[in-house]
Amino acid sequence: MSQPIFFAHANGFPSGTYGKLFSALAPEFRVTHLEQHAHDPRFPAGDNWYHLVDELIHHLQQQDEPVWGVGHSFGGMLHLHAALRCPELYRGVVMLDSPVLTRTDRWVIRAAKRFGFIDKLTPAGRTLGRREEFADLDSARSYFAGKTLFRGFDPECFDAYLQHGLHKVGDKLRLRFDPATEISIYRGVPHTSPGRTRQLQVPLAVVRGHKSRVVMNHHARHVGRLPQGESLTMPGGHMFPLERPQDTAQLLKNLFTRWENRQHKDCA
């Protein structure tokens, strides 16, 4: 019988972009997800992502059993905060190139918000003024193919982004993920935490992209010191789940199998 994964996407990347990863996890695992976080008016993006964590918990409570929480970047942080609040909804959490913020990190974020340089600390500044509309699919493909962020993408994942990341508005194609919402998510990055990560009651793994600059050495050390925490590394950059989806799926399968075996051994 397949085990449940609830996946949460990176900011700006609808879950359909990760279809190749989801397929590679089957049949051992079945993946549930929201197509786009932060687009339900009941759960708006805001400071410290309180409503966005509420949104995730709302959907987790509708699952039949506890899940493996897997999130990429923004999605990993959502899962961590939800697991700190409601550990009974989880079997474990995997954060794909998503940092577990230390107290010092949160202090810096608080200062950045207060003194107005949060757009320099997060990708919000680079997102401002980004192109939102395209004449056709070919022009969109050419535009994104020229961006460093997309250069390492698996070709099927790149096609999936064009399919799920854009939608028709009149005779144009526009970004499906609302750019203002994306910026609000970056600006609202939490400087608070619903609990101490050391007290997390489920296993936690942070998988870091080898070339990424998002998860720093001090983040990896912090996770490694947690009672049920571990830090792993994958080839690629911050977008490695979309650069190497099959390798990412195999890592997740191996990790969950190891955690399951450890749990059975502890219960024996």
pLDDT of residue 125: 83
Q: What is the pLDDT of residues 166-220, one digit of tens each?
A: 999 999 999 999 999 999 999 999 999 999 999 999 999 999 999 999 999 999 9
Least confident of 27-31, 93-97, 264-268: 264-268
pLDDT of residue 108: 96
pLDDT of residue 262: 85
Q: What is the pLDDT of residues 233-262, one digit of tens each?
A: 999 999 999 999 999 999 999 999 999 988
pLDDT of residue 207: 98
User: Residue 28 sits in a domain of what CATH number?
Assistant: 3.40.50.1820
Torsion sign across C-alpha atoms 108, 109, 111, 116: positive
Which pLDDT band holds residue 222 (cuts at 50, 70, 90)? very high
Cβ–Cβ under 8 Å, residues 152 and 236: yes
Other Cβ atoms less than 10 A from the Cβ of 187: the count is 19
Which pLDDT band holds residue 67 (cuts at 50, 70, 90)? very high
The total number of structural domains in the chain stands at 1
What is the average pLDDT value for the chain, to the nearest integer?
95
Which pLDDT band holds residue 268 (cuts at 50, 70, 90)? low
Burial 233-266 (b: 16+ CB within 10 A, else e): bbebbbbbbbbbbebbbebbeebbeebeeeeeee
What are the backbone dihedrals phi and psi of residue 232, each rounded to the nearest 5 degrees, phi first?
A: -125, 165
What DSSP assignment string belongs to 174-196? Answer: EESS-HHHHHHHHHT--S--SS-
Q: Where are the alpha helices (DSSP H) in the chain?
A: 19-25, 50-60, 74-85, 103-115, 118-121, 124-127, 137-145, 155-165, 179-187, 217-224, 240-243, 245-267
Q: What is the pLDDT of residues 11-57, one digit of tens each?
A: 999 999 999 999 999 999 999 999 999 999 999 999 999 999 999 99
Average pLDDT over residues 64-93: 98
What lies within 8 Å, CB to CB, of 93 at 6+ separation is 68, 69, 70, 71, 76, 79, 80, 83, 200, 202, 203, 204, 205
Whole-number Å distance between alpha carbons of 160 and 242: 10
State the residue range of the domain holding 246.
Answer: 3-267
Residue for token digits 């009672």? 227
Which pLDDT band holds residue 267 (cuts at 50, 70, 90)? low
Whole-number Å distance between alpha carbons of 94 and 155: 25
Average pLDDT over residues 102-125: 94
Chain mean position to CA 252 = 14
Residue for token digits 């979309």? 242
Whole-number Å distance between alpha carbons of 244 and 236: 8
Q: Which tokens go with 222? A: 């912090």
